[in-house]
Amino acid sequence: MMRTRPLKVALLGCGVVGSEVARIMTTHADDLAARIGAPVELAGVAVRRPSKVRAGIDPALVTTDATALVKRGDIDVVVEVIGGIEPARSLITTALEHGASVVSANKALLAQDGAALHAAAEEHGRDLYYEAAVAGAIPLIRPLRESLAGDKVNRVLGIVNGTTNFILDKMDSTGAGYQEALDEATALGYAEADPTADVEGFDAAAKAAILAGIAFHTRVRLDDVHREGMTEVTAADFRSAREMGCTIKLLAICERAKDGASVTARVHPAMIPLSHPLASVRGAYNAVFVESDAAGQLMFYGPGAGGAPTASAVLGDLVAVCRNRLGGATGPGESAYAALPVSPMGDVVTRYHISLDVADKPGVLAQVATVFAGHGVSIDTVRQQGKDGEASLVVVTHRASDASLTGTVEALRKLDTVRGVASIMRVEGE
CA distance 430 to 428: 6
CA distances from 339 to 199, 261, 342 (A): 31, 10, 9
Name the nearest CA neighbour of 252 among 238, 271, 266, 231.
Answer: 266
The answer to whether residue 8 is catalytic is no
**Other beta carbons within 10 Å of 190:** 22
Amino acid at 241: A
Q: According to the 3-state scheme, what is the secondary structure of the chain?
A: CCCCCCEEEEEECCCHHHHHHHHHHHHCHHHHHHHHCCCEEEEEEECCCCCCCCCCCCHHHEECCHHHHHHCCCCCEEEECCCCCCCHHHHHHHHHHCCCEEEECCHHHHHHHHHHHHHHHHHCCCCEECHHHCCCCCCCHHHHHHHCCCCCEEEEEEECCHHHHHHHHHHHHHCCCHHHHHHHHHHCCCCCCCCHHHHCCHHHHHHHHHHHHHHHCCCCCHHHCEECCCCCCCHHHHHHHHHCCEEEEEEEEEEECCCCCCEEEEEEEEEEECCCHHHHCCCCEEEEEEEECCCEEEEEEEECCCHHHHHHHHHHHHHHHHHHHHHCCCCCCCCCCCCCCECCHHHCEEEEEEEEEEECCCCHHHHHHHHHHHCCCCEEEEEEEEECCEEEEEEEECCEEHHHHHHHHHHHHCCCCEEEEEEEEEECCC
Residue in 170, 207, 258, 361 annotated catalytic = 207
Torsion angle of C-alpha atoms 302, 306, 310, 311, degrees rounded to 10? -130
CA distance 309 to 238: 31
Name the nearest CA neighbour of 5 among 37, 39, 35.
Answer: 39
Residues annotated as part of the active site: 207
